Each structure stands twice: as C-alpha cells, then as structure tokens.
Chain A
Amino acid sequence: MVALSEGEKHFIRGGIEQDIRTDGRRRLQFRALSVETGVIPQANGSARVRLGGTEIITSVKAELGKPSILHPDQGKVSIFVDCSPTAEPMFEGRGSEELSAELSVALQRCLLGGKSGAGAAIDLSSLIVVEGKVCWDLYIDGLVISSDGNLLDALAAAIKVALSDTGIPKVNVSLSAASDEEPEVDVSDEEFLQFDTSSVPVIITLTKVGRHYIIDATSEEESQMSSAVSVSVNRHGQICGLTKRGGAGLDPSVIFDMISVAKHVSQQFMSLLDSEIAAAEAEAAE
C-alpha cells in the first residue's frame, strides 16, 4: 500500500536493527492506544479503538435465532470486517474484499476456536436460551476507518473492548410451550447480562524485518517485512490461535522464540487494555 524508495527502506531496516524506529519507538513498543466505549448506541455493545494512526469501530449486535442442529446447546457468533474507503482510496468498490476476508478469517480463527466450538473465547453455551430452539446470534462487525498498519491487533483489541461493553438482554421464556412448538420469548428491555470477557484473547502480530521482530508495525514498516506471525494469547498465557503470513520461511526455533516474545508482550498489552477499558467505562458512567 505504501510506496517507499530504497533509501527509505534502508533507513527503516537500520532503525529496526538499532532499536530506534522512525518514530523513536523501541522494537517491542506499542503506539499510543486510546479507547472509547458505547459509540454506537443502537448496538448491544460497541467500541472505538485508536492505535497510532489506525482507527477501528466495532459493534456487537445480539439477535435471537435458532441454534444449529449439530450444536443444539450453543449460540452462534460471527465476525465480519469491512475496510472503509475513507481510510484508503484503494478500498473503494471491491478493493478491500481480499483484505477484509483475510482479517475476518484470522479473527474467527483466533476468537471462535475449533469446529466443535471448543476453546472459543466466548462461552457459546452461555448464549443458549432454549436448548435446541432459541439461542442468541452474536454479530461482531469491525469497521476500519483509518489504516496505518497493524490492523489485526487493533481489530482484536476493539472486539475485546466492544464485548466488555456488551449487555445481552435477559430473556423470559414462557414455560407452558409444548416441546415441539416454538416457545414464546419475552426480551427484557430493562435487565442486561454483562459479558464475561476474561477469556477473550488479544492478538499480537510480530513482524520480522532483518534479524529482529517488531510489534505494532506501521504500514511503512509492514511493507518491509520478510514474514509476520500473529499469535493470539489469553489472560492465562495460553495460545488461542496462530497465523503466519508472509513469504520468507522461518526456522522453527525462530517461531518458538517469537511465540514466547508474543506471550510476554501480550500480558503488558492486556493490562494496558484493561486499564483503558476501565477508564473508558468510568468516563461513560459520568
């Protein structure tokens, strides 16, 4: 996306080698993070996250639906990402389809667990209303308003914040329904159940440039990468998902090293995100 001359690329590579990047950051330092909740009042939960020049708005909407036949005791979650042309002129029309699809799939893999639903960040069985008949369908939508690199990490952080802001309405089921009829449900407008986001992981993308890895790459630095590994780590230090994108092959020992670096960085990032969420909620409560 970003065109750079050989001289500028050389400068960026040198900076990463010497641990001073173009904006003065160290290799394992994030840009300024700012978080806001409740930006979309008509959604069940929403957030706006800014990571340097990248800006994401996510919303979580809950609708009643029917659980799938294979998993009658679980609700459904789907994640979609859209890149707005306001961020980049090349996202207009269908220009962003490839990128949006790639980001959506990567997020689904990290947050939704395996095909059986095991290991999902969100406890799908908590979304069930009436087993086999009625469940909550969660639609998580991410919109990229401004793009300056590291979209995946910012999207994952925005989803985590939006989920912490989400309230699922309480549902009263009329018990007198016959077993093969559609039960009547009464969606409460008053009572909400807050989501438990303690098991939602964050994603840390490590970009390898030369011999070193950096985190939170700007789009200029991303154009320099030889390969990138995105690791999804939860609060307990467990790895919830792993993606490797980018051409150059990596030695397995290098990958193990990158994973341990990601784990270490993720703890810091998660505590930073938690404090930002708390601050945002405090401000929203004012």
Chain B
Amino acid sequence: MEYVNPLTGFRVDGRRPNEMRQLKGEVGVVARADGSALFEMGNTRVIAAVYGPREIQNRGQQVNSNEALVRCEYRMAEFSTGDRRRKPKGDRRSTEISLVIRQTMEASILTHLMPRSQIDIFVQVLQADGGTRSACINAATLALADAGIPMRDIVTSCSAGYLCSTPLLDLNYIEDSAGGPDVTVGILTKMDKVTLLQMDAKLPMDTFENVMELAIEGCKAIATYIREVLLENTKRLECQRG
C-alpha cells in the first residue's frame, strides 16, 4: 500500500509527511470535575477530567506523605474504534497506558506543594484514530492546568513513524497499523526535556534520530497551541469576572 504517494508526496489522508492533523482543544467540558478538557487530533477525540487535589481516599495507597498521590485511569469507549471492542477496560493495554500517562504527568506536577492529598486523572477516549496516547497526555495537561494544579512545565506528546522511506508526523490508524515503526515522544516543552519515549518495530540509528526530531517538532507545535488555548481561557475568565 502506498502510504506516501511517490509523485505528489501526499499521504493517504492528503497530508504532507511533516504535517500534523487538525488540533482542537477545549477546557471546562465536565462541570463536576475540578478541571477538564476535550482534545482532538484529527479524528482522535479524548476527554480528560481531573478531580483534586482532594483528601486521600485510601490511606494504603499513599507512598510518600510529603507529596500528592497522582492516580490515572485510561478508558476507551466501546464505540471508539472501528471494530467494536468488547472489553474496553481492565485489559493490559489500558493498564499500560494508564501507567504511562500517570508517570508522564507526575514528572511535571509539583507534588510537594500538595502533601497528603490525591489527584485523580481520568481519560476517556471517544474516538480512536491513531495517536491516542499522545492525545490523552495533551488532554491531561489541559485538564490539570484548568484545575489550577501547579506544574513545572507544559507536557505535550506526539507520535511519528517511518513508512516508504519517509519520516511521517502524527500517524493515524491506517498508518499506525501498517507495521512500520511508531515513535511516541512526550516532552517538557520549555525545559526541552524528554519525559516519555516509546518505540516499537525497528529502525536504524540515524533514521531514528530523524524520526524523533520530527516528533519533538510536533510536540512543540502542540505546546504552542495548548498555550494559546489556556491563555485565551484565562483572559476570558478574568474579563468576565468583573
């Protein structure tokens, strides 16, 4: 299958190799939560809700009482993928992604400012079209900022792959299932540090560097967008406050 048209250079959905899908972010979508956000990357749609910081519910889970406990759960809706999934929660992939999101966000949240409390991050995937992991992390960043939880930096994530000898940014589901490598990167944008790096399949070293650089570029672009959304929201709230 031709993932990159050799004549025009376009991909299956009409994008250029280094072009990201359409981004859309919105905060305050779940009224009951302390912070919430909806994030879309093309057809991938994810809702994140943050409850906290609040009193620890289960003392047994608390590891360090000088820091806040961060918990995360990732769930996919049954209708989120093309073929209907019968067991959308509790399976190994969901558990792994919950862990990944938790560790990525923990790196950024200033947990020592909220001792003896817990922060719950719930991520619900409404539509999955590749890059769900990244969309979840981006949505979680927006939701945490909306909840007023102090963070070191804005964490964003993006994926990139290598098909038909071309590095491709932000893979969709068709490109992801093509069997080529899939590199997911999460960075602390201002501090320019990588906090998440996952890859499957195999790549020669120098190609890997190119693909990772491309993913980092994507992360930075997303960070600019997220920053705009948050700034816009802050200005709007301040103006309406009176």
A-to-B contact residues, CB < 8 Å: 40-43, 46, 53, 57, 59, 61, 63, 80, 82, 84-89, 92-94, 139, 141, 143, 145-148
Interface pair B77/A61, CB less than 8 Å apart: no
- Name, among A40, A85, A139, the residue most crowded by chain B CB atoms within 10 Å (CB to CB): A85
What is the chain B residue whose CB lies nearest that of A91? B122
Cα-based distance from A251 to B229 in the complex (angstroms): 57
Q: A42 and B122 in contact (CB under 8 A), knowing A93-B73, A146-B31?
A: no
Q: Collect the chain B residues with CB atoms within 8 Å of residue A59's CB.
A: 77, 79
A214-B155 Cα distance, complex, nearest whole Å: 47
Interchain CB contact (< 8 A) of B82 among A42, A87, A143? A42
Question: Closest chain A residue to B81 by CB distance?
Answer: A42
Closest Cβ–Cβ distance, residue B224 to chain A (whole Å): 26
Q: Is the CB of A40 within 8 A of B73?
A: no
Question: Which of B30, B51, B78, B82 is in CB contact (< 8 Å) with A145?
Answer: B30
Please, which residues of chain B bring their CB within 8 A of the CB of A139? 78-79, 84
**Of A42, A85, A89, A148, which one neighbours B75 at CB under 8 angstroms?**
A85
For window 44-79 of B, CB contacts with A under 8 Å fall at: 47-49, 51, 73, 75, 77-79
Question: Nearest chain A CB to B26's CB is how many angstroms away?
Answer: 14
Q: Are A86 and B43 in contact, CB atoms less than 8 angstroms apart?
A: no
Chain A nearest Cβ from B118, distance in angstroms: 10
* A92 close to B73 (CB less than 8 A): yes
On whether the beta carbons of B122 and A92 are closer than 8 Å, the reply is yes
**Do A86 and B33 form a contact, CB below 8 Å, given A40-B127, A61-B79?**
yes
Tell me which of B32, B43, B90, B129 has the highest count of chain A C-beta atoms within 10 A of its own C-beta: B32
Do the beta carbons of A84 and B124 come within 8 Å of each other? Answer: yes
Asked if A141 and B32 make an inter-chain contact with CB atoms under 8 angstroms apart, the answer reads no
3 smallest CB-CB distances across A and B, nearest first, come from A59-B79, A86-B49, A85-B122
* Nearest CB of A to B144, in Å: 14
User: Which residues of chain A are near B36, meaning CB under 8 Å?
Assistant: 86
Q: Digit string of B158-187 for contact with A (CB within 8 Å is 1, else 0)?
A: 000000000000000000000000000000
Complex-state Cα separation, A88 to B124, whole angstroms: 12
Nearest B residue (CB) for A139: B84
Closest Cβ–Cβ distance, residue B100 to chain A (whole Å): 17
A203 to B120 Cα, complex, angstroms:
34
Contacts of A147 in B (CB 8 A): 32
Distance of B151 from chain A, by nearest CB (Å): 20
Find B78's partner among A41, A63, A80, A87 (CB 8 Å cutoff): A80
Residue of A nearest to B128 (CB): A42
B101-115 to A contact mask, C-beta < 8 Å, 1/0: 000000000000000
Q: A41-B43, A61-B84, A82-B88 are in contact. List 17 more A-B contacts (CB 8 A).
A: A40-B127, A42-B43, A57-B77, A59-B77, A84-B77, A85-B49, A86-B33, A86-B48, A86-B49, A87-B30, A87-B32, A92-B73, A139-B79, A143-B126, A145-B124, A146-B30, A147-B32
Q: Which residues of A contact B79 (CB under 8 A)?
A: 40, 42-43, 46, 59, 61, 139, 141, 143
CB distance A143 to B31 under 8 Å? no
A-B contact pairs, 17 of them (CB 8 A): A40-B126, A40-B127, A41-B43, A42-B43, A42-B127, A42-B129, A57-B126, A59-B77, A80-B78, A84-B122, A86-B30, A86-B49, A88-B32, A89-B51, A92-B120, A141-B77, A145-B30
B83 to nearest A CB, angstroms?
Answer: 8
- With a CB–CB cut-off of 8 A, which chain B residues contact A43? 79
Chain A residues with Cβ under 8 A from B43's Cβ? 41-42
What is the CA–CA distance of A63 and B43 in the complex, to the nearest angstrom? 21
Instruction: Give A61's nearest chain B residue, CB to CB.
Output: B84
